[in-house]
Amino acid sequence: MRFTAEHRFGGPVDAVVALLTDPEFHRELQLPDLSLPEVVAADVDGDDAHLQLRYEFVGSLDPIASRLLGGRKLTWLQDLDLDRSTGKGRLRFAAEAEPKRLHGKADFTVAPVDGDAGASVRRLTGELKVGVFGVGSMAEGRIVPGLRRRLDIEATELDRRLTSAD
């Protein structure tokens, strides 16, 4: 299932990019139904930044999802790759146990808001896939709203930090 999101920030692109790739920002970011993440990798090579996080779903699961998991915990790896000079990036995520059954990706850009160098916008376009015959599209329809909600919460907290730093 395809999804999009757009978030505006009261800070310049470089400040937004710095927070998005800051492991401490994510370690402290409380998202509904998720554990605080484990930072698996945080690397910077020139303008290229990479951040890998491991999350565990701690909310209540749909009975069908529970049955599909067979009693296992739902954990996944999330990779964020970002070119800090252009503001272009990619977000990838996949279930650890069966990455072909639950995975997704999104391309995004962080760019200045026209006419306001002190503000920026993140535009994200992605796709979530649940590769389970018969229930995949139904599951995608249930998961995507929560994914968007978490992106909105992340953006709200990022903006709060940017504007409170002034």
Flag whether pLDDT at 148 surpasses 70: yes
What is the pLDDT, as a whole number, of residue 166? 57
In percent, the amount of the chain with pLDDT more than 90 equals 72
Quick one: pLDDT band at residue 19, thresholds 50, 70, 90? very high
Q: What is d(CA 107, CA 122) in angstroms, rounded to the nearest whole number?
A: 10
Flag whether pLDDT at 137 surpasses 60: yes
Instruction: Give the residue-averaged pLDDT of 98-103.
Output: 89
Q: Which residue has the tokens 């992340």?
A: 154
Helices (H) and strands (E) in the chain, counts: 4, 7
Q: Is the pTM of this model over 0.95?
A: no
What is the pLDDT, as a whole number, of residue 64? 66
Quick one: pLDDT band at residue 143, thresholds 50, 70, 90? confident
Superfamily designation of domain 2-164: START domain (3.30.530.20)
Rounded (5°) CA angle 41-44-50: 45
Q: What is d(CA 117, CA 129) in angstroms, rounded to the nearest whole number?
A: 36
Residues 48-79 pLDDT 10s: 999 999 999 898 877 666 666 667 788 999 99
What is the pLDDT, as a whole number, of residue 165? 63
Domain ranges in the chain?
2-164
Calculate the dihedral angle through the C-alpha atoms of 28, 33, 39, 42, rounding to the nearest 10 degrees.
Answer: -80
73 vs 37, more confident = 37
